[in-house]
Amino acid sequence: MEHTLQLAIQAALDVASNILPDLRPGEPATNRALFDLLVKAGWVSRELGEILADLTGFRNVLVHGYTEVNLGIVLDVLVNRLGNLEPFVDAIRRRL
């Protein structure tokens, strides 16, 4: 369950990192900054950018094991927040 969630968030990061060089908005200092730059370039809304940045922070917990992963939080993200990746996919599709 955690690995699938990690891969879904990583896929969004990969898409953002592949789009940004063509836009030339600047170099992101962090993975979270990828979504800030997409907001500045008008590809996603500020609200969606913030949600995706938060998911990136959660991905970092999953990948790097900063703390023991709380399965209740993983379940909450899967049930209540994973759907936030769909508006990202829609926004990217509209622009491509």
- Domain of 76, CATH number, reads 1.20.120.580
In the chain, how many domains are there? 1
Residue 83 lies in domain: 2-95
- pLDDT band for 71, please (50, 70, 90 cuts): confident
Show Cβ contacts of residue 31 under 8 Å, excluding neighbours closer than 6 positions: 13, 56, 59, 60
pLDDT in tens, 22-70: 767 667 788 888 999 999 989 999 999 999 998 998 888 888 775 677 7
